[in-house]
Every structure is written in C-alpha cells, then in structure tokens.
Structure 1
Amino acid sequence: MKSVFRFILVGLLGFCLSLLAAWWVPFIAAEPDPSALNKQGFEQLYKGNPREALQNWKNAEAGYRKLGKSEGVIGSKVNQSLAMQALGLYPQACMTLTQTLTLENNLCQSNGSEPQDLKHITDSIAAIPSTPATVAGLNSLGDVLRVIGHLKEAHVVLSQTLDKGKRSDSVSVPQLLLSLANVERSLYLEDCDRYDRTDNPELRLTLQSQLQQRVQKALDLYREVSVVGGDSRSQLFAQINRLGILVLSKQWLEKRNLQVPLKQTVQAELDRSLAKLESASFSEIPPEQSIYAQIKIAESLRLLTQYERAMKYARSALDLAQGLQNPRSLSYAQGEIAKLLLDRGQPETALRIFQQATTLAQAIHAWDAVYQWQRAIGRIHSRRGDFKRAEQAYETAIAALDQVRGNILAVNPEVQLSFREQVKPVYREYLRLLLTPPQEPDLKRAVLVTQRLQQVELENFLRCGDLDLVGLDQISLPKNTTVFYILNLGDRIGVIVQAQDNSLHYYSANAAEVENNAMNLITNLQSDEFVAVEESVLLPFAQALYQQLIEPAQQQGYLPSEGTLVFATDSLLQTIPMALLHDEQNYLVQKYSIATTLGGQLRQPRSLPLGSPSTLIAGLSEEAPSFALPQVPKNFKPLREVEKEVQDLKKATNSTILLNADFTAANFQAELAKNNFPVVHLTTHGQFSSSREDTFLLAWDQVIDVRQIYQLVKRRTEQDASIELLVLSACETAKGDRKSALGIAGLATQAGARSTVASLWRVDASSTAVFMSQFYKNLADGQPKAEALRTAQLMLLKGEDTRHPYYWAPFILVGSWL
C-alpha cells in the first residue's frame, strides 16, 4: 500500500499543477499547443499511463521554450517530475527538479553523499523567486526528498516553501501543509523503527517521548489543512492520511503493549477521525485518485477489523477501476477485497481474487502489487498443505521484489522502515516452508534464499542497488572449513551446516531458549561493568548456545577437529562473538579460526600479499573538534593509548600515518587516492548500528558516516583497487541494538573492503595495542587473516591480566578469512 500512498500524493500535486497550468495560459501561451499538451499529460497520468504523460510534458516544454515562456518551461519540467515519480524514477525526478529550480544536484544523492548543509538549503530556497511554478516545484521536490530518504532536507525545503506560500497568500498552502505532515509521519515511522531495533531502556524512554511529539505534530499539520480551507482535495487527503497514521500508531502500540500517554492520544483522535469519515466526498477528485483514496480508507478500516465499512469502500474503488479499465488500480482494488475476504475467513474466494489481481499486475509489470498478492497466495496454499504451490507463489513474490527494489525499496524510507514487517517476512515465510516438516527440507534452496535475504537487508540499509557479493556456496572452500547458517524461523532457530565436502545438513533448536541464552549473554557483554563480570557468570550461557547451535554438528561428524568455522548468523546472534561459545572445556576460538559473513555472502576472497603490506594508519589520541558534534555520544573520551598503538604498528608495518590533526577527512581521502593501500587501520572512536545515521567513525574535523565512507574511497573502487583489509580497532556496537552488526557490514561494504576486523565493544587501550601488534606480526608471517586474529586472541587469553573475555572476545573478522 506504500506505492498507493505515494500515487495519491503524486496525483494530488499533479491536479494542483493542472489548475496552475490553466492560470498560466492567458499570460504565457500565445499558442494553445503547450497548454493542451499539459492537459493531455494529466489525462494520461490519471489513466495510469505515466510514460505517455512524460512525453506530452516534454513536448509541452519544447513548445514553451520556442515561445520563450520561462514560467511554462518550469511548469512543464515540474510536471515531468510527477511522471517520473509515478514510474518509480525518484532520483531522476529529484535531479530534474533541482536543475529546474537551479539548486545543487547533490541534494538528490541517495548513496555516498555527504549530509546536506541545512542552512545552505534554506538560503538557496530563499533566493528562488516565488511564482506558482517554483512553489509547485519546491513542493514536489520536498515530496521526492522524503521518498528518497532525505527527511531532514525534505522538512527544510517544505517549511521554507510554506513560509513563501503564506507570505504570498498562495493557493498552494494546503498542499504544502499536507506534504509537511507527511514528512512528520515519515519521521515518526523512523522513530518507531529505532524503538524496535533497540533493547536499551534509556533510549526507549527517550524515543517514547519523541514519538508522542512526532505524532502530535503530524496530526496538528493534518488538522491545519482543514483549518486553512480552500483546497477540498488537500483536505480529503489530509483526512485519509490522518486516519492512516492513527491506525498505524494504534497497531504499533498494541503490538508492543505500551501503556503510554500516546496511546490515549491516538485513541481519542482515532474516534474523532472515524466519526468524520462518513462525510468524506470523492466527487471533486479524478476517478483514479478516488480509487486509491478509497482503497487506503478500506485498508485502515480493515486493520481496525471494521470489515463491513471497509468492504463498502473497497467495492466502490473496484467499481470505479472497472469503469476506467485501468489494470493497476483494478489490481489494487481486487487485492484489498481479497485481503478483507481472507481476514473474514473466506480463503478460497480470496485465493481466486488474489490470482486475478496477480494476472492484471503481471501484465503491466506492476511488481509492487505482484509480490504482495503472491505472498498472500503462498500463505493460503501453505495453510492448506499444498506446499508445492506455496513454494511457487513465494518464488514469484521474491522475483517480483527483485524487480521493484532498485526503484522503490532501495530509496523509499517508508518501505525501508517497514522492511522488517513487509519485505523480510516474505523471505522468512518461504524459509519456514522450505525447512519445516512434513516435507523434506530443501537445504540448497534455503541457503540461496538466506543469502538473498541478507543481501537485500544490507542493500536496504545502504539504500543502494545490487552489491557485488559472492555466495559461499559458489566458492571452493579451503580444507577444514565449515559454514554455519543460523536462521530465525519464528518458533525455531534453524541451523544449516555446509560441511567440508560441501554437503548440507540441518537441525534446529527452540527459538525462545536460544534467545533467552543470547539475551543474557548480550546483557553482560554490553554492561559498563563487563570486565568485572566473573567468567562463571558468562559460561552457562556460552555453553548453552554451543549445545544448541554447534554440538549437534559435532555429534553427527560435520565438525572438523581444527580449521575455520564461518558463521552466517541472524538477528541478535550477530552481536555475539561466536569465539566466545564454550564446549565445557574450551572456548570455540581455542580450537578454530572464526569468521562471520552477512547471510553467507562476501566479496570474492583473496589472500594478502606475503610480507608487510602497505598500510594507512589513521587515529585520534586527543580530544578532537569532532567530539563536540551533536551526533557524537557524550561519553566519548580521548584515547590516550592510541599514540602508542600507532607507533607500535609503525614498527610492524610499512605504513603512512595520519594522527590527530592530520587525520582530517580531506587528508584521509587524499592518501587513499594517491596510494594503493591494501590495508587501512583506523584507531578512532566509532559506532556500529542498524541505522545508517548512527553508524560512523570520527576523524579530527568531522563525523565520517556510511554515506561519506563511500565518497572517500570512491576513486579506489572505480579503479578496482579494493581495500583488502579494513581494521577498526576502537569502535563499538550501539548499546542494545540487536542488528548493530549490520553497521559493520555496511561500513565495510561502502569502503569496498574484502575483509574487516572490528571490535564489538570498546576495549582497554593497552591490551588492544598489544593485540594489534601481534595481529600484524602474524599477517607478516603469512598467516591467513582469521588465523592471525585467532593467534592474537589466544595470546591475550593466555595472559594472566588479559584472559577475561572482555579483552580478547570483541574482535571479529567479517568477510574473507584467507
């Protein structure tokens, strides 16, 4: 339904622009052709033909240019951006708008771009003349920035444009208010997602207060649309969107059983919103917009289990769609009716309608609809025990997801924020189907689905297209290498073992028991007093996890007596160093070298050259200006021992050093550009999180986040000069973040690193310096990366003062272990 929501907004803005086009005609069009072409473009857009609309508007632009009418040119370019949005071409739409409004193009970059200077954006918008066309263009730009995930920038653009509109008493004010409310809605959903990704009680309390403010701000803006009056269409969509955010909030709060003031606010507002629903009028908006508006209402009512009312709106939408003979809107109307029938216990009828909706969507390549209907079909077949047809439906759903990810899932924050609830379950349900009795587990296909899921999750995190990763099943594994895929299947934790001979084996454990042991272990690992926690407190949980996840493989003979274990772990297990698992005699690291991957995928493995590789070492030992930046945690202190670590590494490596004031982002980028360093070692504060914005490293002068790290190494990746080994020696995972290891994988991927060594928590600086010196000595001696890491860890484990897991366990190797 997210694409439906976007289409409503695009169509609404388009209708506003059509009124503006009519206003422009007497003043700027000596000939009727351009304005007629504009009108035809809107007619095509309403009929669901955005490509034809785009061509009409390009022709209109050419006509206005021939007449020398700049306002008409701007209006036609803005219209073109609407067609691009309807086609899912959001970055292109953004570029078109920034060029038309003479704003900087980097405002639109969704990958590798630096955070925008919000004051610069404000000043740039202030310099743009206030005309109907430019105000409409800025409104559209704000909408597109929201869609591509630049929420702060979208908020600034729309707030500044709203001020322009209010000063000129513009008819655009209702639509600007609506767009700004939608940004607040996206910010609210972002905070909901952050709440779900953390177990940190302090952060959750902060977010609860922030959620109350966010939802109230959105509701106030939706209400203000009706107060300013004038545009009945904006008022209708404000009412629909207001109902939508209230329903989402109610569902979210009830699912988490939160008894907070927000709950009372939502229920009171929801009652008022439902009471106003009957007076909603659809007669003044184009039929295409009316269809999606009523589908959206039907969806909200269905989620409230008001099935009769929901069916009334869904059938009205279906009747309109049949009259228009628009396959896309007809497919969505059928899909909503099928959902209602399924919720009311009529699976057979629902199945038939889902199949009809799929056929319509496939015919026009509406993959965003196909994946939803095929997932529903798969669930129905699975419940009926028709596993073959269920598998086929899930395969089709995943193939459809692959089609839409590039244009929508990779850039749209609302889809990203609901990734866990809308996209990930498609893969999860398919995995359960493949691995759950009574049918024989299809292990080969399950591995492929697991790899795809984790790659999609990483691409979703980075908001980028297909990553150049290779599955472990496609690699000739070295001798004595065993791979463990550990999967969350709901009530079970599934384990697929890829043995040395590449044969696949499967067993499972009770999910609640595994999660209980994992959470108890993580609580201790992330405690500020971890170094004081006795090993006897940790061992029961480390041993229980070994018994549940590793011991069955040992008992069945799949585990080598020595060698390398590669883990592709899921959910909260990603924040546990697998080296810490214990077989009641030894830690796992005492027998095996250990590497982790995200979903069993990595860049093509390659060994480091023999000897001492050329290394770029950068670090901070003093308090830097970047410590004062707002996104930096207040508990970050100078790392005094870093200077010694750097000097020790200088002796062990062939290195170039950037220390303290020399370690600026510009100097770092310059060194990477002019020298081909196979190894990059960063000994500076950093944090890994499942949020892109909260994953960063500190340079002397600024924060380097996931987006910027790509920009800094871009020239190297373009020349195929990848970093063989990236070492992050003073970083930590975000406290309470179950998916913080995603930040490690994301940062390593953006840096183009084949292998990454990182710390999961901040460690004593003195022991880290000793550890790193030994690690590099091991590499120089020709040890593979995983073995070099293990040997250095064992050195600390054997030390009288450093045998506690606090000192040796946080270091993990992500990626190639060779």
Structure 2
Amino acid sequence: MKRRITRVHHRLLVLIFCALLGLASALTVPALSAARVTLTNEGEVILVSPTPQFWGGIAVESLPLLTQEEIEQGASNLPQQSSLISQATNPLELARQARRYYENGQLSEAEKYWQQAAEAYEQAGDWEGRTSSLINKSQSLQLRGLNPKACSTLLQAFEFNNTDCRELIQNNLTFTDIKNLPEKTTSLSPLTKVTGLRSLGEILRRVGYLDRSKAVLKLALEVVKQWENPQQESTVLLSLGNTERAIGKRKRVSEDPVDKAIDIDSEFKNGEDPNYQKPEDALVYYKEALNSYDEAANSSASPNTKINAQLNELSLLLDIKRGWEQVVQELTKTNDTLSYWQGLKRYLTNKTVPLLQDIYSQLDEFQFAELPWEVKRNLVYAQLNLAQIYFTQCNNVNDNPVSCEPVAPLFKKIHSPSRLKQIVQDAHNLKDKRAEAYAIGYLGELYEKQAQEETEKSLKLLHKAQEKTKEALKLLHKDITAKSRDNLDITYRLQWQLGRIFKAQGEIQRGIGAYEVAFQNLKNLRPDLVTINRDAQFYFRDEVEPLHREFAGLLLQNGNPSEENLRKARNVIESLQLAEIDNFFQDNCSLNKQEEGELDNFINTQAPKSAVIYTIVLKDNEKADYNIKLHIILKLPNKDLIYIPPQIIDKTEFNSTLDNLYNIIKNKIQALETIEKKAENNEELEISKKERHKLLNKELETHNKEPEELLQHLQEVYGWLIKPLEEHWGDVETLVFVLDEPLQNIPLAALHDGDYYLVQKKSVVLSRGLQLTNPEPLKRGRALKLLAAGVSEPRKDERGIEEKKLPEVVRELNEITKKQSRTEQLLNSDFTKNNFRKKLEEFRPSVIHLATHGLFNSNPEETFIVAFDENIKLRDLEELLQSSNVQMLVLSACQTALGNKRAVLGLAGVAVRAGASSTLGLLWKGEDQATASLMIKFYQELANPNVNKAEALRLAQIDILNNKDYSHPLYWAPYVLVNNWL
C-alpha cells in the first residue's frame, strides 16, 4: 500500500507540474470536448485539464481541478459517522462520479454531482472536501462559459449567505469582506485556499468587477507567499497582471487622446514642480501589470509559465506603444518637444526587443519530441499565442503600426512559412484540430500579407492564402459554409479571412458570401463573448467592428447596390449599433429586440411621417492616405430603401471639422461657466437676470474671434448628412438618425442650411437602431405617471468635484408636476437612493424626470447621476429602472463627455437596457434657466395627445431659440431624444 501511494504521488506531482504549464485564454469560448482527463489504473481521476484556447494574445495559467488525492491530503479526518452515509451520498463516490461525467464531456451532470458531493462533505464536517468540490464545480461552469453561475458557486464555497454574484458584489461584497476571506478559509489546505481565491479573482475579472478582482488576487498572493510555493506564486502573479492590464485598458478606453496629449504636455512642463499632481492614467496600471508579469516570469519553476508571463508582457508593451502613437500625434499639434515620448519609446523598445529574443530562444531550446504530451500541447499554444500577437499587433493586413518596427524583423523570422508549417505538423501529431486549424489559418494570413507586399507575386500568394484558409476550415467542418456553432471563435475569423482574400482577387460575390457566413457566426458568438468575459470589450475594436465595416463596405462597393445588398448593409449597420451597446455595458442586451423583418413594418404602419437615415463611415481605400467615404441609406414609409451616392471627404477636413465643432462648443461652455461664477459672486448680477444674459452673450462673442465659425461647421456637416436627403423626404416630419460612431455626438438640431437650423424644419431623433426601438407610443392623460426628482443644492459628484447649485430645479419640478394629474416628487434631501427605489416600486411611473448633475462617460464605471446622499452609478440606475414600468427617462441636467465618441452610448443604452422606450438627455452641460424653461415647455406640449415626443422637444427648442437671450445653439441644441419618438 505504501508503495502504491508513493507511485501515485510521484505521478501526481508530474501531472500537476504539467497542468500548471497550461495556457488558456482570458477570452475563452470553451467547447464541451475540450476536457482531457488522466486516470490511475484503479480508475481514480488525478488530472482534468482544459484544452488551451486564446484570443488577443493574453495568456493565463489554466486552473486544473483539485484532485481527490489533493483533497484528501488537505482534509481533516472524517468523523466516524461518515461511514454511516449511504453509498448514494458518500462524498468520495459522488466526487468520483462527477469526474467521470466530466471525462465524458457531460459537464452539467458533473456539476450536479459536485454539488451533491459538497453537501455530503458538509454533512460529514469536512470543509476541505466541501470547498474543493465547489471549486471544481466552478471550474466546470467556467468551461461552459457560465461565469455568473461560476462566481455564485465560489461565493457559496466561501460561505457567503447571498450567492447572487452580481447583487452581492454591487451591494454587499465590500473590500472589508474580501480582507476577511482568510477567516473563512482557516480550515483549508494552502493549495485549496490559493486555488479558490485565484479562481474567484479570475471570475471577478471576467464578469467586470476589476477592482474586487485585484483585491482578491492580492489576498491570494499574500496567502501563497506565506505558503512559500514559488510555482503557485507565479500563477497568481500572472492572474494579477491580467487584472491590472484590464484595469489599465478600461482606463485607456475612457481617455480622450486630445485631453491625454494635454496631460502629457503639462507633465513634461511641470514634472519637476513639487506641487504638480500627475493625472492618473492607464499607464499607471499598465506598469503594475508589467511588474506582475516580470515577477511571475522570474519566480516560476515552470518554463511554460515563464513564457506565458513573457508573452503577456510583450503583448502589453506593444499595446502601450501602439496606443500612445495616437496620443503623440495629438501632442505634436501643440508641442514640438517630444522628449517625453522619445524617452518612453526608447524604454519600450529596450524592453521589447530582448524580451522577444528571450522567448524565441526558449522555444528553440525545447527538445519537442522528448517532452510529455501535455507540455508539447502547451508549447504549441504558446507559439500560436506568439503568432496571435504578431498578426493582431504587428502584421495586421489592414494596419502596420510604427510601434512594431524594432521587433518586426525578428517577428518575421519567427513566423516564416517554414516555422508555421512546423507548428502545423506538431499540432497534427498531437491530434489537436483546433491548434492545427489556428496554425494553418495563420499560414494563410501570412500569405495574404505577403501578397500585399510582393505585388508581382500577389496572384500566386493569394491563391496559396485561399488554399490554406479553406484547408483550416475543412479541418473543422466538412462543409466550410456550414453555420455550425462548433468552433465559432475560429471559423468566423477564417471565413472573414477568406472573404478578404476573395475581395483581393476581385471575386466580389464569393467575398460577400464568405463575409456573410463570418458575420452570422460572429452574431451567434457575440452573446457568448459578453457573457463569458468582459475583457471582450477590448476585443471589439480589433475584431467585431472591423468585420462589420468591411462587410458593409463590400455590399455597397459598386456604388449601385441591389435592394438585397442594401437590406443586408442596413442590417449590418443595425447589428453594429447593437454590438456597440452590448460592448459598452459588457452584457448581452436584455431587451426584446425587433426582428429584422419587423423594421420596415414599424416605419410603414406606426410612423408614417418619419424617415430613418443610416450612416456608415468607411475608408475609400486601405492605404495610409485614405479619405472618408460616407455612405447613407434612407428608409421612407412604404418605399424601398434609397441609397445616397457616397461622398468622398478629405480625411483631414472630416476630422478637423468635427474637432473644431466640439472645441468651439467647449470654449463657449467655459465662457458660460466663467460668467456664471461671476454672477454667483455678484449680487447685482444674481438679481438682474437680464443683465446677466447680456454679459453672458458678450462673453460668448469674445470667446469666438470668428463669429461665423460655428455656423460654418454646422453648415458643412449639414451638407454631408442632410442636403443629399432633401429631394427625397417629401412630407416627412421626423428625421430619425442612426449615426455611425464618429458622428454620434453632433448636435443634429443645430445643423444649418444657410437660412434655418434643422430643428426649425424637422423633428430630430437619435436612434441606436430600430431593432432597439420599442414601438409602443407613450401613454398619455391619466395613464401617464410622472416621478420627478432633483437636487438644487451644491453636491460633490463621483469625481469629488463640487458641482454648482441648480436653483432653477425647484421651479422646473414644481411646474412640470403641475401639468400632470398623477405625479410624485423627490427634491433635495428627499431624493436619496433608497427613497428613489421605494418610489419606483410603489408608484411605478411611466416617465422619470431627473433634474440633477450627472455625467455620461465612455466608461460605465465612471457614469453616474448625483442623488442627495450618494451618487447613483449607471449599473445601479439600470437595476433600479428594471423593476419599474418606465417608458421615458428624462435627464435634464446630466451631460455627456462632449466629443467623447463613446459617451453617448451610456445615454442611449441605460434606458434601452432597462426596457424604457426612450431617453431625453443632453450632449453637454445646459444653462440652468434655459434648461428649466425648455423642460417646462416640453411637458406642456406633451400634454397634447396629437404631439409626439419628438415634436414636443422640437417645439420646446424653438421656444428657447426664439428668446433672444437664449438664441445661441449653446442653450437649446444639446437636448437629444434617443430611440422611441412616438
């Protein structure tokens, strides 16, 4: 018996070592067949290890299931009464049965048995066995992509009473709770404790709670340091680095390049000033991630763990360098001194080149044929991960960033056709079809890239690229056009690649066919992306958005698309709008969406005086000196789709027009704030509103050296978007714009034809697509129930900024509630988060009017509204509204981050996701008195059952425009109605 245990333990150590080499992805879409299980001669499962998968060049160490031997080693002795437990409830037998199901790929059955095993262990008083079984169940759930359930299972393992992951984390899981987790794990072995904490940290990152993920992983690091296990420490550090990287990317998404350039400029000029406070930015978190990766590589006893950490470090260094190139472009416009950037560039280059050389030499040192199967497999995936970094960051067929120039020669050497062919052969010998398909696909992509560089050989190279891409697809599916859900994460990319190749060969119809299959596969996969891993938002820009744009461009390429291709292009634009919302919230939109076939019927029958304008901004070629190609599709009631001939707009002119438009408005907002501060400090101005407006308008003029400049830009954009439509719209009264991202922050109502503003002619609506438009009209009369809430007193917002008082809020709320028969009001100290929740539950309003400060940013975590007692974040607001019956959400004092192209997504998305039909909000901060007057007029018009929401807003805006004190667009143009306008 003693000899048997020694043998088992020896094999166990070898296999655990191999398992710790596992390379998986932070962005995995698991397949049920991905599990591999090793058994002892007696049938005992000693290792379960998922097949590695990866996206985006981010490696994580796989979390192998805790084996029965490990559980028994760390467990307390079972009490005597455990032998009385029947065979059916014997925890050991239940755990073994769970593993058998897991071996056969029956994961849901395995999870049931692990749950039963956990309960049986708990009954027997064995907390080690209970916790380990729940951790194993959680790993299985993760493999199926059920991260919220996996999270709840881990919370159960750590004995939280509330195991609703999202609810607990949002409301109760404080950082104090996290610090107290060791008290819940005192009876556990170090391995179980570290595995559980690390697994919880991974899950929290994947479901979007990055700060808590970091706190849990820091705690796991403390535990493993006390345990003094270098290998486990390196895997925890790798997980911690991935979370720190995700935090940095989240911060970077919210950073505006222009503002960032100003920050860098200030830092360069004031860096030696002891009173200068350096702004927090993504680079702070990136540096933490780099340090964690570096520590993980240095402390690891496993060569593969070292390579994984180095791969992540390499990917991040290139990502930093690439991202900052855009910042530098902005900085050079205002400051020719680039010492800061040159220093950073040297640092990144000096780190990147030797790191890649080290990875390359390590991969070459392995004697592949002599390695165990598991180590071979992980080395193959390490090389594929390196290829992924190369193709996505340094050899993209549509992009050649300067950031990769120092490492490009070495990358090309590593990824020669002969090298990739060897990876194909190694994967084939391992009988790993996914790895083999990846490698063959990369070989096809390499030929595709070479065809662009070697034009005299392009036809031959494109033929090779096509052959290899088809070979990879056939390896996964007998019929390469089959829309199977198996391996969607690979097949959609290969079909996309095939579409690009057909396009380059001039075979447009075959290209459209391949793009269509890729598009449909991606649509099927996308809900899994946002459910499985919230890091997928960083995948959106590189994969989801380009595929949509390229497909739409191909459908519209010949300038005279068929009705069928027009419909397909319209549906692609609708899909992109929906994908942007899902990506912003990192959750699959819960709204019941209209089907594609219902879109035309909605306009034809329910909105017969409305026109829908779809825009998509594409490049006119794939070269660096491309121009903008603006496509417009028009939908009129009871007519076929109309395609407006595309406009070619100089790229510099397009960008500068939009930038100047936003900058002029920003300057005028600053002028408004300047005079308001003067008014607050001057009693005479406070008393004399008329005098105040005179001074304000004078201030506006002084801040605009060219009084006609704003109007010129508004007229230029009118020429792009509106002028081509005028001959088509007939008796249309409402223009519904589905705008592409670069155009989404435009104040549509203020666009000018040379004589009139657009709002003086038509009602204007901003839509995220008809799929997301609830067709139900707003209830009127006694059916309309209004909850009005606001804060007029100065409060600190989420950023700690003291927001000014809003004295007109009192008048605004009093007047709008007078006009409605069924109302409730929460003002100042009454407007607390709890009171707001209670009113929503008890009163169930159809319209919610919030007159308070707030900010809609490009990051949902930095988006909020100000209540009296605390700030209500976007996710909290969404949760509060989901329990109500709201049709319209009005945000009368909130603002979006002007010019931030993603900020309007929050404004559009919060009500949509909560089931509300529409949102009325502001693109920039409104003036207090003008806002109150406009809102009062809006509700007066809304009382007329013959006036829809869009027309009510138009009439309110015109009322303000006709007031000479408020005629400037600054006062009335920021208001925008999003989605349903009926």
Normalized against structure 1, the TM-score is what? 0.90
Q: CA deviation at 1:53?
A: 6.5
The superposition leaves residues 174-213 of structure 1 with CA deviations (integer Å, 9 ceiling, x where unpaired) of 2111111111122222233333677665467789973333
Distance change (3 Å), C-alpha of 1:815 and 1:16: closer
Larger radius of gyration: 2
Secondary structure of the residue aligned to 2:105 is helix
- One of 569, 574, 582 as aligned partner of 1:451: 574
1-structure distance, mates of 2:309, 2:95: 26
Hey, what's the Cα distance between the residues in 1 that align with 2:636 and 2:114? 64
Q: What letter matches 1:240 in structure 2?
A: L
Distance 2:264 2:662 in 1: 17
- Which of 521, 524, 529 is matched with 2:664 structurally? 524
Residue 70 to residue 406, structure 1, CA distance change in 2 (3 Å): same
Aligned partner letter, 1:355: K
More deviation in 723-732 or 62-71? 62-71
1:572 aligns with 2:742: yes
TM-fit CA distance, 1:77: 2.9
Partner of 1:279: 362
Q: Deviations over 1:95-132 (max 9, x none)?
A: 22221222465673299945953233222355432522
Q: Could you tell me which residue of structure 1 aligns to residue 458 of structure 2?
A: none
SS in structure 2 at match of 1:566 = strand
SS at match of 1:469: coil
1:498 aligns with 2:587: no
Matched AA of 1:668: F
TM-aligned CA deviation for residue 660 of structure 1: 0.8
Structure-2 separation of matches of 1:110 and 1:388: 49
Structure 2 match to 1:120: 177
Counterpart selection for 2:434 from 321, 328, 338: 328
**Identity across aligned pairs (percent)?**
29
Query: Do the aligned partners of residues 493 and 664 (structure 1) sit closer, same or farther apart at CA in structure 2, a change above 3 Å counting?
Result: same
Q: How far off is 1:479 after superposition? A: 3.3
Query: Is residue 2:143 matched to residue 1:86?
Result: yes
Q: Deviation per CA, 1:234-269, whole angstroms, max 9, x where unpaired?
A: 323212222222233344344665635432222111
Correspondence for 1:592 among 741, 762, 765 = 762
Give 2:412's aligned residue: 307
Partner of 1:429: 550
Q: Distance in 1 between matches of 2:294 and 2:96?
A: 31
Flag the 1:203–1:561 CA change in 2: closer, same or farther, 3 A.
farther
Matches within 5 A, 1:237-316: 237-254=308-325, 257=328, 259=341, 261-277=343-359, 278-280=361-363, 281=366, 283=371, 285-302=374-391, 303=394, 304-305=407-408, 306-311=411-416, 314-316=420-422
For 1:8 and 1:588, locate their aligned partners in 2 and report how far apart those are by CA, in whole Å: 47
1:537 and 2:597 are equivalent in the alignment = no
TM-superposed CA distance for 1:730, in Å, is 0.3
**Which residue of 830, 839, 855 maps to 1:687?**
855
Identify the residue that residue 476 of structure 1 maps to in structure 2: 603
Give the partner amino acid of 2:968.
H
Are the aligned partners of 1:619 and 1:683 in contact in 2 as well (CA < 8 Å)?
Answer: yes
Asked if the contact 2:55/2:388 (under 8 Å) is kept, the reply is no
CA contact (8 A) 1:565 1:594 kept: yes
Residues 633 and 641 in structure 2, CA contact (< 8 A), matched pair in contact too: yes
Aligned residue runs from structure 1 range 304-453, under 5 A? 304-305=407-408, 306-311=411-416, 314-345=420-451, 346-362=461-477, 365-437=486-558, 440=561, 442-453=565-576
Residues 393, 104 of structure 1: CA spacing in aligned structure 2 closer, same or farther, 3 A cutoff?
farther
**SS at the partner of 2:921?**
strand
CA distance, structure 2, for counterparts of residue 750 and residue 465 of structure 1:
9
Native 8 Å contact 2:469 2:494 kept in 1: yes
8 Å contact from structure 2 (residues 750, 757) kept in 1 = yes
1:22 Cα deviation from its structure 2 partner: 8.1
* Distance in structure 2 (CA, Å) of the matches to 1:287 and 1:729: 61
TM-score w.r.t. the length of structure 2 is 0.76
| Residue 546 (1) aligns with residue 652 (2) | no
- The answer to whether the aligner puts 1:799 opposite 2:881 as a matched pair is no
Contact 2:892 2:921 in 1 (8 A): yes
Distance change in 2, residues 1:645/1:516 (3 Å)? same
C-alpha deviation, 1:487, in angstroms? 1.3
Q: Is the 8 A contact 2:615 2:740 kept in 1?
A: yes
Match of 2:10 in 1: none
1:756 counterpart letter in structure 2: T
* Separation (CA, whole Å) in 1 of partners of 2:663 and 2:60: 49
Which digits, 9 at most, give the CA deviation of each residue in 1:767-789, with x for residues without a partner? 21111111111111222111111
Match of 2:894 in 1: 731
Structure 2 distance, partners of 1:431, 1:487, is 8
| Cα distance in 1, alignment partners of residues 257 and 307 from structure 2 | 34
Unaligned runs of 5+ in 2: 1-24, 29-52, 268-277, 330-340, 395-406, 452-460, 478-483, 620-627, 673-699
One-letter code of the match for 1:501? N
Structure 1 range deviating more: 120-129 or 584-593: 120-129
The AA in structure 1 aligned to 2:149 is Q
Specify whether residues 99 and 653 from structure 1 end up closer, same or farther in structure 2 by C-alpha distance, changes over 3 A only: same
Secondary structure, aligned partner of 1:565? strand
Judge conservation of contact 2:919–2:977 (CA < 8 Å) in 1. yes
1:7-50 CA distance string (max 9 Å, x none): 999983435845983883898799999989989999998xxx78
In 2 relative to 1, CA 20–352 (structure 1 residues): closer, same or farther, beyond 3 Å? farther
Q: Which range moved further: 79-88 or 786-795?
A: 79-88
Whether the 8 Å contact between 2:258 and 2:327 is mirrored in structure 1 is no
Read off the aligned partner of 2:890 and give its amino acid letter.
Answer: V
Counterpart residue identity of residue 335, structure 1: G
Output the CA distance in 2 between the equivalents of 1:298 and 1:9.
12
2:146–2:532 CA contact under 8 A, matched in 1: no
**Residue 304 of structure 2 contacts residue 379 of structure 2 at CA under 8 Å; is this kept in 1?**
no
Quote how far apart the aligned CAs of 1:695 are: 2.0
Q: How far did residue 806 of structure 1 move?
A: 1.2
**TM-fit CA distance, 1:360:** 3.8
Question: For 2:59 and 2:160, how far apart are their aligned partners in 1?
Answer: 21
* Corresponding position of 2:199: 140
Separation of aligned partners in 2, 1:458 and 1:244: 27
- Between 1:634-643 and 1:278-287, the stretch displaced more is 278-287
| Distance (whole Å) between structure 1 residues aligned to residue 260 and residue 287 of structure 2 | 24
* Paired residue secondary structure (1:687): strand
Deviations 1:374-411, CA, capped at 9 Å, x for gaps: 11111111111211111111111121112222222345
- Say which SS state the counterpart of residue 763 (structure 2) adopts: strand
